Structure 1
């Protein structure tokens, strides 16, 4: 008499299905599981299955790697997550990372510096301008991140959402990035105009 087939939850995937869904190979998926980057599979009979939490972790790992994290960096990042982190939380973390992943800042600075040098600006002036920009931008990003975390992310996390609502939230983040950049540029232009106006009022050329 043959054994009855084990009933399978539709949200569970085999290692082959999980690997195909996340873009990793089966070998890499199993390797990450052996390192503890994803939890062990859920055993049903002799077959191991992977659920939404496994997939969310692998997708977050992919985003971190695309953002330049080494495997050791990924491990440290995951170790810093709360023990009760959910698949929804992981999806939000991934969306926050991928929404700000773009061209390398170093490449952009090199391109800008090259163009400014062609315009005749001294190299030291460019280096000082970059250092000042970086220093103040880090402070600005820190403050904006705090506001976003406290006023947007935490309220969203503290209420239950359907998978469709989480997906819509993820899709808003790239647009939020664009609006944030536009707002920063507008604020810089406004500050520059105020500085020029004050300089003119006291008879100093900008």
Structure 2
């Protein structure tokens, strides 16, 4: 792929993420995406074919980071560290992909009509893996007998909100945008609440302190 093509596609994807996030799929017009990207409208169709394909491409920019977010849970045996790193990763996704995160959230709220069956299955497989892992930790006595489902939903909501409600969060904090330190503070607090709330323990039932 040529450098020019990569740059144009990246500009269009970035602009499309913003417009889809603010307007929704149905109300979005390709001319508005082209204007924001600073390219002719014809270029949008040249690189992506149609609005639905472009929308799917925007979703793909967030799907892969979301699917990769479980890497700490997959590779770290210590549940305190694994959960802490998972929470950090989810917050980084909200920080680095704010518009695509909103597009994804809107798609889920609409019942995911434009997510491919393959992606829906991969996301479901990921959720099943996380629930099974939480259950394993509970059965091994490494955390209290909490609801794995509601624990997962709580982590999702507390990290995703930094993308979905960024305007309100920024307004309350009196900032135009959050700094990296703000996301670090959020990660520490959410991790502390999860670890202490679930009473995460090591194999010998000793309480595990929140990682710094």
**Length-normalised TM-score, structure 2:** 0.29
Q: Give the structure, 1 or 2, with the largest relative contact order (CA under 8 Å, sep 6 or more).
A: 2
Which is richer in helix?
A: 2
TM-score norm. by structure 1 comes to 0.30
